[in-house]
Structure 1
Amino acid sequence: MTRLSGITPSGHVHLGNYLGAVRRWAREDADGDLYFVSDLHAMTTPYRPELLRALTREQLAVLIATGVPADRVFVQSDLTPELTSLTWVLQCVTTYGEAARMTQFKEKSTGASVRLGLLTYPTLMAADILLPGATEVPVGDDQAQHVELARTLARRFNGTYGEVFVMPKAIMPPVAARVADLSDPSRKMAKSARDSIGVLHVLDEPDLLSRKVKRAVTDNHARVEYRPAEQPAVANLLEILAACTGDGPRDAAAGLDGYAALKDAVAEAVIEELRPVRSRTLELLDDPAELDKIRAAGAVRARERGAHRLASALRLAGLG
Structure 2
Amino acid sequence: MTRIFTGLQPTGTLHIGNYLGAIVPWHELVNASDDSQALLCIVDQHAITIKQDPEKLKQRIYELAAIMLASGVDYKKHIVFPQSQNPDHAYVAWLLTCMTPIGWLDRMTQFKEKKAKVEGYKESVTAGLYAYPTLMAADILLYDADLVPVGIDQKQHVEITADIAAHFNVMYGETLKVPKFHTNKETTKLYDLQDPTKKMSKSDADDAGRIALTDTAELIRKKIMKSVTDNDNVIVYDMENKPGISNLMAIFSAVSGLSNEKIAAEYSGKGYGTFKSAVADAVIAYLEPFQAKMNQFLEDKGQLRMILDEGAARSYELSHPKTIEIANKIGLYLHA
Assess, with a 3 A threshold, how the Cα gap between structure 1 residues 236 and 6 changes in structure 2: closer, same or farther: farther
1:33 to 2:38 alignment: yes
In the aligned structure 1, how far is the partner of 2:174 from the partner of 2:239?
49
**Residue 27 of structure 1: how far off its partner (Å):** 4.2
The farther-off stretch of 286-295 and 205-214 is 286-295
- Name the residue aligned to 1:169: 180
Q: Select 2:153's aligned residue among 126, 131, 142.
A: 142
Where 2:186 maps in the other structure, the secondary structure is coil
- Name the residue aligned to 2:324: 311
Assess, with a 3 A threshold, how the Cα gap between structure 1 residues 232 and 315 changes in structure 2: closer, same or farther: same
In the aligned structure 2, how far is the partner of 1:12 from the partner of 1:213?
17
Runs of 4+ residues over 4 Å off in structure 1: none
1:249 to 2:260 alignment: yes
1:74 to 2:85 alignment: no
1:269 to 2:282 alignment: yes
CA contact (8 A) 1:8 1:39 kept: yes
1:58 to 2:63 alignment: yes
In the aligned structure 2, how far is the partner of 1:267 from the partner of 1:105?
38
The farther-off stretch of 27-36 and 285-294 is 27-36
Alignment-mate amino acid for residue 312 of structure 2 = A
Q: CA RMSD in A?
A: 1.6
**Residue 229 of structure 1: how far off its partner (Å):** 2.5
Gaps of 5+ in 2: none
Q: What CA deviation, in whole Å up to 9, does each residue of 1:65-117 have, x standing for no partner?
A: 111222322222111x1011110111122111111211110011132211111
Where 2:37 maps in the other structure, the secondary structure is coil
- Give TM-score, length-normalised by structure 1: 0.94
- Give TM-score, length-normalised by structure 2: 0.90
Alignment-mate amino acid for residue 168 of structure 2 = F
Where 1:2 maps in the other structure, the secondary structure is strand
Alignment-mate amino acid for residue 218 of structure 1 = T
- Name the residue aligned to 1:289: 302
In the aligned structure 1, how far is the partner of 2:260 from the partner of 2:165?
43
Overall identity of the aligned pairs, in %: 39
Alignment-mate amino acid for residue 100 of structure 2 = T
CA contact (8 A) 2:8 2:41 kept: yes
**Residue 253 of structure 1: how far off its partner (Å):** 3.0
Alignment-mate amino acid for residue 224 of structure 1 = I
In the aligned structure 1, how far is the partner of 2:29 from the partner of 2:152?
21
Alignment-mate amino acid for residue 253 of structure 1 = A
Assess, with a 3 A threshold, how the Cα gap between structure 1 residues 229 and 158 changes in structure 2: closer, same or farther: same
- Name the residue aligned to 2:105: 99
Q: Select 1:109's aligned residue among 101, 104, 115.
A: 115
Alignment-mate amino acid for residue 89 of structure 1 = L
Where 1:223 maps in the other structure, the secondary structure is coil
Gaps of 5+ in 1: none
Where 1:229 maps in the other structure, the secondary structure is coil
CA contact (8 A) 1:36 1:75 kept: yes
**Residue 314 of structure 1: how far off its partner (Å):** 0.9
In the aligned structure 2, how far is the partner of 1:299 from the partner of 1:187?
37
**Residue 210 of structure 1: how far off its partner (Å):** 0.2
Number of equivalenced pairs? 319
In the aligned structure 2, how far is the partner of 1:4 from the partner of 1:235?
35
Alignment-mate amino acid for residue 192 of structure 2 = D
In the aligned structure 2, how far is the partner of 1:247 from the partner of 1:27?
21
Q: Select 2:293's aligned residue among 280, 286, 291.
A: 280
CA contact (8 A) 2:251 2:279 kept: yes
- Name the residue aligned to 1:133: 144
Alignment-mate amino acid for residue 110 of structure 2 = Q
Q: Select 1:184's aligned residue among 180, 192, 195.
A: 195
1:299 to 2:312 alignment: yes
